[in-house]
Amino acid sequence: MGRILKTAGNYLSLVKFMHTVFAMPFALIGFTLAVTTTEREFSFRLLLLIILCMVFARNAAMGFNRLADRNFDSLNPRTEQREIPSGKIGVKSAGFFVAVNAILFVLSAGLINKLTLFLSPIALAVILGYSLTKRFTFLCHFILGLGLSLAPIGAYISVTGSFHYLPILYSLIVLTWVSGFDIIYALQDAEFDREHSLHSIPSLTGRKKALAISGIVHFLTFILVVAAGIAGNGKILYLVGAIVFTALLFWQHLLVKPDDLSRVTLAFQTTNGIASVVYALFVILDLVIFT
């Protein structure tokens, strides 16, 4: 039993399961938006399928990322103890894990509706393809943001089988928010990336300019949060969630300095995790109470 738990723990660590809080709350926003603004009824089965899609897709994406980057991770002192370089999980086992989760994602999407089934391979291409983009473009941060941004619109399509501009606004919030904080996270590896011909904004511009670019991207996030509130006729609860979310965005930029990266983990993981959950909670409550 202890061995099984240890193995499960290794796989949970491999995919950084706790980081699911970044995109999952926005998927729940997309689901709630569809249920409250259309004539579609709440379905627990559908909600469960959406959650399963999120979990399987993220497992496949993170597993593939660790698999694709295993050689670089083994050379980087910050990442050399990750599960694959350290030997806790074998390459074949990781590949099998990725394949199983990718298949389960497509199958789950197929149980929702025809459109989600049709779009599922495209979604997989984006979220898996991100792991290779650092090899040829400094825009890799935005590809990561694009992958996670599929959550709210994907959930909305799951309920309605159609597109709408409002969930797209929430997707744009995710795209800019994630891209901005990934630039901050990449500050830790700027020198390593330059030495190994890997591309990122910090390795291209240096830490100070990268932080400035991240700030600009997060200012766009703020504009989009305001736009979503106006377009969705958000009330007082939306306003509270928006204020907390943008305040936490601002705070993470106070935590990290070009010459002091000691609080990057606090800014990346804790601050953004709280921001996502709080914002989603108030948006969902606003939709349920006032729509």
What is the pTM assigned to this prediction? 0.96
Q: How many CB atoms lie within 10 A of CB 275?
A: 24
Residue 175 resides in a domain: yes
**Chain position carrying tokens 């040829």:** 136
9: pLDDT strictly greater than 90: no
168: pLDDT strictly greater than 80: yes
Residue 145 resides in a domain: yes
Residue 259 resides in a domain: yes
Residue 52 resides in a domain: yes
* Full domain range(s) for residue 169: 21-290
Which positions ≥6 away from 23 have C-beta within 8 Å?
54, 58, 148, 151, 174, 178, 276
Q: Identify the CATH number of the domain in which residue 84 sits.
A: 1.10.357.140
Residue 37 resides in a domain: yes
Residue 111 resides in a domain: yes
Residue 2 resides in a domain: no
DSSP 104-143: HHHHHHHTT-HHHHHHHHHHHHHHHHHHHHTTT-TTHHHH
CA distance 235 to 135: 44
| Contact of 29 with 284, CB cutoff 8 Å | yes
- Please state the domain count of the chain: 1
123-147, pLDDT tens digit by residue?
999 999 999 999 999 999 999 999 9
- Cα 280-57-101 angle, rounded to 5 deg: 145
Residue 107 resides in a domain: yes
16-42, pLDDT tens digit by residue?
766 777 899 999 999 999 999 998 999
Q: Read off the pLDDT band of 15 (50, 70, 90).
A: confident
| Helices 44-68, 140-160: crossing angle, 10 deg rounding | 160
